[in-house]
Structure 1
């Protein structure tokens, strides 16, 4: 009887030990799986956070770049406007001085010299010339042309505002522009180029 009891105890111990070993293996497997899932979740979370950080940095860079670009464009626009104002002021001052000068005797003497040089530069002394000027200079230039030996015709041109004259000889396909308007236009272009207003 005692022998049966010992056998039963031994059998029970064996079963319990086996169950304990199996339980331990299951727990180890579960723990290993838990750690693997945790490690995977940590990696995924880290990767997601890195992506979010990179996206945030890219967004900040983009917004910063846009803000800087917009500020630069605004600064360039203001600078361009300021330069344009300076150029216009210079041109207006020049136009005012020219207007005052055209009312002096120096202007009529200059006008006479320009007419003489322009006439000499045109070929064919028998070919008719057309003289264009502003209304204020019409009578003076008409008096100058009365001594001219070649055929001529004088007319007021609406394109001449500041002063000077323009000679045309259709037969020779030539023209000589001595207008102050053209000179002022060239000066304005030089001013614009100097101030960086010309668009290349």
Structure 2
């Protein structure tokens, strides 16, 4: 699992390096070509005109060069950010697909029962379990595993699976949904994946 993560991170880094390297080389080549042509023109003009005119044109060229370089860097950053988003979306789509696959297996029922049983060890008053509509068939399993009086309700916001236990009277919410877990992992992923834009 760690090896797959490292391979995936290396793939992302390599892909970003490759794409940015190509674009930066193209920009540098274009800038070098523009600079060469402009310098040739300026040298010819400078021979005919006074040194002050030449100096003014060089300043304008440098300013134009700086503006073009800035625009090129902005465009490259925009493309790299789009690629980063595309790669991250792909990673999280695959993660969601694996979660959905897990929720179709018998182990998922056992997972829900185990989590409910662990929460049953607490003294939560008037507990309400919120589950996704895909998990409606597990209502009795959750109640039985919890071992105490509780309600199970459908929450259409829970799409991937898991459940959320709420005790309104005690101000307690225990979120065991895969939906929340995947959202929390997105923040971690963006911080630790190495897919940042300089």
Question: What's the TM-score bracket when you normalise by the shorter of the two chains?
Answer: 0.5 to 0.7
CA distance in 2, matches of 1:72, 1:85: 20
Question: Could you say if the C-alpha distance between residues 147 and 181 of structure 1 is closer, same or farther in structure 2, counting changes exceeding 3 Å?
Answer: closer
SS of the equivalent of 1:131 reads: strand
Match of 1:73 in 2: 74
Deviations along 1:138-181, one digit per CA (max 9) or x if unpaired, are: 23133331465544221100110000000000111011000010
Correspondent of 1:138 among 133, 136, 139: 136
Indicate if the aligned counterparts of 1:123 and 1:172 stay in contact, CA closer than 8 A. no
TM-superposed CA distance for 1:55, in Å, is 1.7
Query: CA–CA distance in 2 between the matches of 1:191 and 1:109?
Result: 29
Structure 2 counterpart of 1:101? 102
What corresponds to 1:181 in structure 2? 179
How many residues matched?
A: 148
Q: After superposition, what is the alpha-carbon deviation per residue over 1:53-111, rounded to whole angstroms, capped at 9, x for unaligned?
A: 22211110111001111111111111111111110001111111111110001111111
Residue in 2 aligned with 1:39?
Answer: none
Task: Output the CA distance in 2 between the equivalents of 1:92 and 1:195.
Answer: 19
Structure 2: where are the runs of 5+ without partners?
1-48
Query: What is residue 165 of structure 2 aligned with on the other side?
Result: 167
1:128 counterpart = 2:129: no
- Corresponding residue number in structure 1 for 2:89: 88
8 A Cα contact 2:117 2:147, kept in partner: no
- Tell me, what secondary structure is at the counterpart of 2:164? strand
Describe the superposition over 1:93-131 as per-residue Cα deviations: whole angstroms up to 9, x where unpaired. 1111111110001111111111122333x444xx20111
Partners of 2:159 and 2:179 within 8 A in 1: yes
Residue number among 189, 192, 198 corresponding to 1:191 in the alignment: 189
- 1:115 corresponding residue in structure 2: 116
1:186 Cα deviation (Å)? 1.6
CA distance in 2: counterparts of 1:190 and 1:147, whole angstroms:
32
Partner of residue 65, structure 2: 64
Q: 1:66 to 1:191 in 2, by over 3 A?
A: same
Structure 1 regions of 5+ residues with no counterpart?
1-47
Superposition TM-score, scaled by structure 1 size:
0.67
RMSD over aligned Cα, in angstroms?
2.1
